[in-house]
Amino acid sequence: MRQIAVLLFLLSLSAVAAPQKKVLSPEEFEQQRWMQIKKLIEQEMSTINKARRKSVKLQYRMFELKSEMIKLYKEKENKQFVSLRQKLGNKVSRAQIFKKTLSLYNDAHKYGLALLKRYPKTQYKAAIYYTLALNSRDFAYDNKQLGYLRLAIDNSTGQSQVNYLARTSLAEYYYNEKKWKSAIYQYDIVLKNQDDEWYSKNLLNYGWCKLKSHDFEVAISSLEKSHKLSEDEFYVDVRDQAMTGLINFYVYGKQIDRGVKFIDNNAIDKEESLLKLAQKASGKGYYAETEKIIKDLEGRIDPIKRAELYADLRLFQFEVYKQYHKTEKLLAVTKLFPETKFNDYQREDAVRKVSDLVGAKQVILKKDFSKHDQVYSKSTLNEIVTYFDILSAVNPPEKAQYEYYKAETFYSVHEFKPALETYKVSLVDYDKTPSQKDLRKLDLDAIFSCIENIKFKKKEKALELEYAYTKYLSYWPKDKKAQSIYPRLYALYSVDKRFDKMQESLDKYIANFPEDLKKQQDLYRAQIDVLIKDKETQLLSQKITQMQKGYLHFAKDEVKKSETILANILFNTFQELNKAGEPEKALLGYQGVHFTEYYPDSIKAEAAFNMGMIYTDLSDNNNAIKWYQKSFEFYTEKEKNEKRIFLEKMALRTALLHDFIKAARLNKFLLKNFCDQREQNVKIFTAAVQNDLANDYITKVSNTMDKYKHCVSQFPNSLKKELMTHYFENRHENTLLDFIDEHKLNVIFPDEVAFYYERMFWQYYGNNPGWESKLQYRLKKMNHPKALLLTKTLPMYEKLQERLKFFKRGSIPTNGVKDPNIFAGKLQTRLGAIQPILAEADNIFAQGHGQISVLVYDALTDLTDHLASEMAQYELGIDDADFQKQFKAQMNSLAANFESQRNNYRHQAQGLIEKYELLVVRRNESHEASDIIKISDIRPESSQFAITFGLGL
Amino acid sequence: MRLLLDWDYRMKLLMIGVIFGLVSCASHKNPRGIKEANLDGLKYESLTRYDSLRLDPNLKLKSELALCHNENYDEAFDKFKAKLDKNLNNYLYWNQISTCYILKKEYSKAKNFLELAMAQAKTNKQKAVVLNNMGVVYLEKKNYHEAKEVFKEAIKLNGDTLTPRFNLVQIYLHFGIYERAEKELVVLLQKAPTDIDFLNSLAHVKLMKKDYKTALVYFNRIPKQYRSRDDVATNLAMTYYMLGLFEDAKKTLSNADKSNSSYVSRQLDITKRLEKVDGK
């Protein structure tokens, strides 16, 4: 049967191997092999079935093939069974899975029985029973094995192969059924046949049967023989089983030394076998023998080449020393664990062993600890610590856990300080390599508890709390406890003024609890307060910059308040320097602040502005304006507007302090920077112009107007009038005329313009024809009553002048005149010609123009004076003394009349001037004191005698 | 005895006048200074005619106004500036500053501060003070019309003040409005009968109105030591000349101050006439 199976297997191999091109997976190969065998069986069955007359031999062959087919399906269905069993467990029913096997079994079983029935005396009878027995044993488990084996033995001779095989199977059956005596009986027969390769196996089974019968000597001998025979290739090698058995047998048989010797001489792996022997011996209480073997093995097992066995030895030693309470040895061998190369299983075992041990020790330590007087076994504590250290070394992934347990051990005996440190180590280890169990909360709770229990100095406690808080927040930044930890951590940092940490913790608090805004604002304020108190300006400025950027949504007022405080701190020193008369140093200080990047813009601006103010005080206008301008680059619009008010006041004050140039520059600075505030600028524009006027800088005034007039909503008429007046009063005549033209002031202020034109006209009248005609033209164009009066009356006066000039030239030539009547006639004509002139003069007087009237009086005074002289000068060449006397008297009388008239004109002119208080600039002959003035013009220059009224009332 | 007013001498006179004019500026000598307070009818209103001795106590007190009259403008202005905050609403403070600028001949600035003074002046008397100084600014810039108006306004607001009335007289005198000048001078002399300038002005009026004898009466009321003052001496010399008192005229001219070039020039004019009389 076995030969057939081997044949079929070989065939299947060759069939599979021949056409193979592609490499098959093991499953595919196995499947192909199975199919091939099945095919071969089926082909052979088919061949037998095709035979018309089937002999007993062929039918017996058919029975064998059916049995082979059962085996083939058993193999297949067993795989399915194992697979399903793995998936579904015990729910899987054998009957369901082995359906085909059982079906084929039943078919073969029926076929075999039928064959026996058909051929009761056939030579294959014993073989058929034997096959039926094996089929029952291997495929059906229907307890028919024993019966069929007995029938096979009964129907075969003692020398036959079937008989031997059936008896061996029967011995094995009894062996398996633990029917030791029956088994020994069958083996005693079977073992007579040493020509069986299974003889070694049979000896092994026989030895076990003898052991069970307490026949240790035979048992040991059988197994030793089995072991030795196994070395022979003829026999099946059962040395492993034999050695396993022997190890037990030597111990049970109290022949440990024999065992050591046998092992040393025969064992394949002597050290392993010896270790097993020691293990068995130890288990049975043979400590001395065990220790002896251990000592032997310690020197024999190479820890590197036989690492696994070496590890087994150490683990075994641990067990032995623990079992036999060899404490020191136990600790010593455990200390070797970290250097021992355990495989996974061994490591797990080692960990479990040590854990159990240390756990027990912890219980003992705690149980013995007296809370009252704090007494405990320090050696036990040290041992526990050592064991945990060993565990950490053996099982590094769980180091965090062992540290935690270690810390717990310290804590249990109130050694809070080492406990605290160890909990911290546990956390560190957990962070590096998390243990299976999440220890973080346990560790941190314990740490908080330790901190509470340890009497720390304040600073030490703060450090520990910082560690604990920080750790906690790193793990659970958003849980409920964290919400209360953030402020506490912040407070811790606050005590030491660790501002960077304060900020960091606050930032995290904000990120995780945005709903705590008010609390966070309070914390930030507290920080600001400390910075202010300590005058930490750099940091304070950073904080304020943060606030400005919207950090924690502080109200603008509050931000501004902080800025002001910072500015006060920063600037206080500089202000003192300035007050102490060291403005240069103050300027340097402000400059430093202004150019420091980290200060908020408002501070930079304020520094620049303060510099501007110092430069203003130093009368350094250029720098003052430069720095005001720089400040405006940093101020917000609102701040600029606030500064505008200040600068307006400053400009005003500067003007009040007589520095009109500086004041004007400040005004213009405001106009430039607030050009769009056109309504408000009217006042500043006016001030700028007025300040320039105060210095009589009319070019600057013009520039100011040109440059900034687009920055005002209107150019006030009052200012125009002021400018016009200024130009006039200060003799800026060209500018005045341009200004009048540009702003059409002749329309807005016609009275004033006409007045100014006329005054200028009289100033230039007769001495500057260009200006004279220019002004006359303007007066004519004005169409103003006063202007028209001048332009109308002036030609009349000039015409009169022409007539008088002509008249004055018409004196009577007297040379050769001998007839007084002729002279008298001519004189009458000449004097008669005066009347129309006087009428013309009267006409001019009637116009009512003061200055021209005075000029007419001048002309008439001159005329009468001329006529008086003319009359006095007339002489006639008549040689008659009486005539001459009479003629002279008459001429003198006429002259006197004219002189009287002249004086009369002077009085009239004076009367006119007095009456109207005329301030005429053109007055000569008609002046009452013209005689004196002709000698020397002693009229006082008014300004020379003008007296200021300084003392007041 | 005829004075030796030859050409060389006249040139020297002219030169001395010019030099004196320069020196007087440098030494702050007040050519119109009056030593005796009783001869200064405006002594309660103005320091203009205080001589150095009368000005001295005020200078010692560091009076800003006295400093300005002594031409110590910088010191005066520093003191004014230091007092700014306490005096923002004090018309007199602003008025005094403007007075200093008038003395310094910075009239635009003076006017600027006068406007501030006027804004702070509450009573008519105070306004009259400010208007007077405004008039002075106008006068200095030869804006006679405006000056006349403000002096008249000042007098109208406070008829008791003398300075604006005196200043108005100067305009009248300049423009030959003698009746009005005389009328005002009568008022002034009633209040200060010994004031040198009042007397000189009225004497000038009388001179110009050809009432030489009366003019001489008023000149004679001027203490002798002031008759040599350039303006007084010029007027007096002219009066003597017009009265035909040529020797007195010459003597007067000989004793006259030569500190002001314009008066030196006028004196030369009279001298020329006198030389003509002498037939030279």
**Alpha carbon distance A64, A3 (integer Å):** 12
- Contacting residues for A749 by C-beta, under 8 A, at least 6 apart: A717, A720, A721, A724
Angle CA(A828)–CA(A833)–CA(A839) in degrees, nearest 5? 135
- From B260's Cα to the closest Cα of chain A, the distance in A is 11
pLDDT at A563: 80
**A888-905 tens-digit pLDDT:** 999 999 999 999 999 999
Q: Taking residues A547-558, report their average pLDDT.
A: 90
- Please, are residues A816 and A875 in contact by the beta-carbon 8 Å criterion? no
Distances, alpha carbon B108 to alpha carbons A89, B90, B98, B117, in Å: 120, 20, 9, 14
Distances, alpha carbon A302 to alpha carbons A279, A308, A331, B40, in Å: 19, 10, 22, 138
- From B245's Cα to the closest Cα of chain A, the distance in A is 15
Nearest to B109 among A658, A759, A938 (CB): A658
**Alpha carbon distance A925, A927 (integer Å):** 5
Closest CA to B235 of B173, B279, B182, B278: B173
Within A369-415, residue ranges assigned H as helices are: 378-394, 399-412
- Please, are residues B134 and A951 in contact by the beta-carbon 8 Å criterion? no
Q: Residue B34 pairs with which residues in a beta bridge?
A: B50
Closest CA to A259 of A294, A286, A228, A220: A220
- From A758's Cα to the closest Cα of chain B, the distance in A is 13
pLDDT higher for A553 or B10? A553
With bands split at pLDDT 50, 70 and 90, how would you rate the model's confidence at A19? Answer: very low
Q: Does residue B143 sit at the A interface (CB-CB below 8 Å)?
A: yes
- Please, are residues A790 and A758 in contact by the beta-carbon 8 Å criterion? yes
Q: Please state the separation of Cα A727 from the chain's center in Å.
A: 66
Question: Nearest 10 degrees: CA dihedral of A693, A696, A700, A706?
Answer: 50
Contact B44 A951 (CB under 8 A): yes
Q: Which amino acid appears at position A520 of this protein? A: Q
- Please, are residues B121 and B91 in contact by the beta-carbon 8 Å criterion? yes
Residue A624: exposed, middle, or buried by beta-carbon count in 10 A (0-12, 13-18, 19+)?
buried
Chain A residue numbers touching B112 (CB-CB < 8 A): 655, 660, 690, 693-694
Contact A929 B176 (CB under 8 A): yes
Q: Please state the separation of Cα A582 from the chain's center in Å.
A: 44
Q: Residue A375 pairs with which residues in a beta bridge?
A: A370
pLDDT beneath 70: ranges in chain B: 1-29, 280
Q: Residue A780 pairs with which residues in a beta bridge?
A: none
**Alpha carbon distance A707, A729 (integer Å):** 25
pTM: 0.60
For CA atoms B174, B180, B184, B190, give the dihedral sign. Answer: positive
Residues in chain A: 953
Chain A residue numbers touching B170 (CB-CB < 8 A): 940, 942, 945-946
Angle CA(A308)–CA(A313)–CA(A319) in degrees, nearest 5? 125
> At A340, which helix (H) or strand (E)?
none
Of A102-111, A420-429, B17-26, B94-103, the least confident: B17-26
- State the DSSP code for A749: S
Residue A25: exposed, middle, or buried by beta-carbon count in 10 A (0-12, 13-18, 19+)?
exposed
The structure tokens listed for B40 are: 């200064």
**Alpha carbon distance A290, A298 (integer Å):** 12
- Please, are residues A803 and A840 in contact by the beta-carbon 8 Å criterion? yes
Of all residues in chain A, the percent with pLDDT exceeding 70 is: 97
**Alpha carbon distance A753, A514 (integer Å):** 74
B residues 156..195 contacting A (CB < 8 A): 158, 161, 163-164, 166-167, 170-180
pLDDT at A387: 95
Distances, alpha carbon A847 to alpha carbons A503, A759, A909, in Å: 94, 18, 15
- Please, are residues A59 and A123 in contact by the beta-carbon 8 Å criterion? no
Residue A467: exposed, middle, or buried by beta-carbon count in 10 A (0-12, 13-18, 19+)?
middle
- Please, are residues A552 and A517 in contact by the beta-carbon 8 Å criterion? yes
Closest CA to A110 of A89, A92, A95, A132: A132
The 3-state DSSP class for residue B34 equals strand
Contact A932 B44 (CB under 8 A): no
**A826-859 tens-digit pLDDT:** 999 999 999 999 999 999 999 999 999 999 999 9
pLDDT at A592: 86
Q: Name the CA radius of gyration of chain B, rounded.
A: 20
- Please, are residues B108 and A731 in contact by the beta-carbon 8 Å criterion? no
- Contacting residues for A281 by C-beta, under 8 A, at least 6 apart: A251, A256, A289, A290, A293
**A322-333 tens-digit pLDDT:** 999 999 999 999
Of A2-16, A506-520, A870-884, B155-169, the least confident: A2-16
Tell me, what's the ipTM? Answer: 0.89
pLDDT at A206: 94
pLDDT at A22: 63
Within A513-600, residue ranges assigned H as helices are: 517-534, 537-548, 556-579, 583-594
With bands split at pLDDT 50, 70 and 90, how would you rate the model's confidence at A505? Answer: very high
Contact A656 B88 (CB under 8 A): yes
- From B104's Cα to the closest Cα of chain A, the distance in A is 12
Nearest to A936 among B96, B108, B270 (CB): B270
**A921-933 tens-digit pLDDT:** 889 888 989 899 9
Distances, alpha carbon B68 to alpha carbons A629, A950, B96, B98, B103, in Å: 37, 10, 9, 10, 7
Contact B126 A952 (CB under 8 A): yes
Phi, psi of A725 (to 5 degrees): -60, -45
CB count within 10 Å of CB A583 equals: 18
The structure tokens listed for A633 are: 């680059």
Q: Does residue A114 sit at the B interface (CB-CB below 8 Å)?
A: no
pLDDT at A21: 52
pLDDT at A815 over 70: yes
Angle CA(A522)–CA(A523)–CA(A527) in degrees, nearest 5? 115
- State the DSSP code for B50: B
Q: Residue B93 pairs with which residues in a beta bridge?
A: none
In the block, residue with structure tokens 């306490």: B86
**Alpha carbon distance B206, A931 (integer Å):** 14
**Alpha carbon distance A278, A489 (integer Å):** 61
**Alpha carbon distance A729, A776 (integer Å):** 20
**Alpha carbon distance A195, A202 (integer Å):** 12
Closest CA to A1 of A77, A70, A97: A70
Distances, alpha carbon A663 to alpha carbons A363, A625, A701, in Å: 93, 11, 13
pLDDT at A562 over 70: yes
Max Cα–Cα distance, chain B, nearest Å: 69
Closest CA to A94 of A108, A78, A115: A78
> At B104, which helix (H) or strand (E)?
none
pLDDT at A462 over 70: yes
Select from B24, B44, B45 the residue whose CB has the most chain A CBs within 10 Å, as the one to mutate to test that interface.
B45
Of A171-180, A784-793, B6-15, the least confident: B6-15
Chain B residue numbers touching A950 (CB-CB < 8 A): 45-48, 65, 68-69, 95-96, 99, 133
Distances, alpha carbon A687 to alpha carbons A653, A681, A755, A839, in Å: 12, 10, 27, 56
Closest CA to A861 of A813, A912, A898: A898
DSSP percent split of chain A into helix, strand, coil, nearest 5: 80, 0, 20
